[in-house]
Amino acid sequence: MAAPHLFPHFPPGDDALLRAAKTVAREEAQARRARAYAAGAGPALAAHVLREAPPPAGAVVAGFWPMGHEIDIRPLMRALAARGHRLCLPRTPRRGLPLDFRAFAFGDVLAKGPVGTQQPPEDAPRLVPDWLIVPLLAFDRAGRRLGYGGGYYDRTLAALPGAGTLGVAFACQEMDVVPSGPHDAPLDAVATEAGVMRFREGSPG
């Protein structure tokens, strides 16, 4: 069930109001996600994606290593690897740059990244993803995504305009309207433990 709070779509020039609205929305989304966290949600999410919205055959898939109360996408990544997809994970660059994706296979040793992230080592081969699994704090039925505030995925998606995007979350992270600005690109689809929602023609699946 979506959160009842309504946030407007902010036009250019309302940056301070947009930042304030996003801060409130992040606090609400983090609280809902913490209450909903359950280890069994990862396999359910994977089953929905594989059945309803799999990536194109041969696509290089970018995932991420879940942390905290994020939904566990590792069952999905294992299944995609078994289907022959090459996987990559992001390395966090210095602020202001897009994410740097490096090859990953289960069994690889990951390095510690900023703010508790796990990432491939610097010498791992660089890959350009065709299809990205995107973390989020909240989403709405227009495909708008509320991230963590660093802007890394916004810059990354702008640099990869042809890539498919699948947001992943618990169903409770849905909001009626996510506060967004003119530079916030919508996702193609969002998958949760309850199913997949598509937002654009030609979206995953």
In a domain, 6, yes or no: no
Task: Say if 31 falls within a structural domain.
Answer: yes
Is the pLDDT score of 177 beyond 60? Answer: yes
Among 103, 153, 106, 148, residue whose Cα is nearest residue 124:
103
Residue 67, in any domain of the structure? yes
At 91-115, the pLDDT tens digits run 999 888 999 999 999 999 999 999 8
Q: Are 151 and 92 in contact (CB under 8 A)?
A: no
Residue 14: its pLDDT value, please? 65
Within a domain: 80: yes
Over residues 157-183, mean pLDDT: 92
- Residue-wise pLDDT for 111-157, tens only, equals 999 988 999 999 999 999 999 999 999 999 999 999 888 889 999 99
* 2 within some domain: no
Candidate from 2-6, 62-66, 110-114 with smallest mean pLDDT = 2-6
> Would residue 181 count as lying in a domain?
yes
> Using 50, 70 and 90 to split pLDDT, how confident is the model at 38?
low
% of residues, the chain, pLDDT over 90: 67
Q: Domain with 176 in it: what CATH number?
A: 3.40.50.10420
The total domain count for the chain is 1
Q: Can you give the residue range of the structural domain that contains 174?
A: 15-106+125-198
Q: What is the mean pLDDT of residues 167-186?
A: 90
Residue 113 lies in a domain: no
For residue 191, pLDDT beyond 50 = yes
Is residue 120 assigned to a domain? no
Q: Which tokens is 98 given?
A: 């897009």
Residue 2 has pLDDT above 90, yes or no: no
Mean pLDDT of the chain: 88
Question: For 50-64, what is the mean pLDDT?
Answer: 98
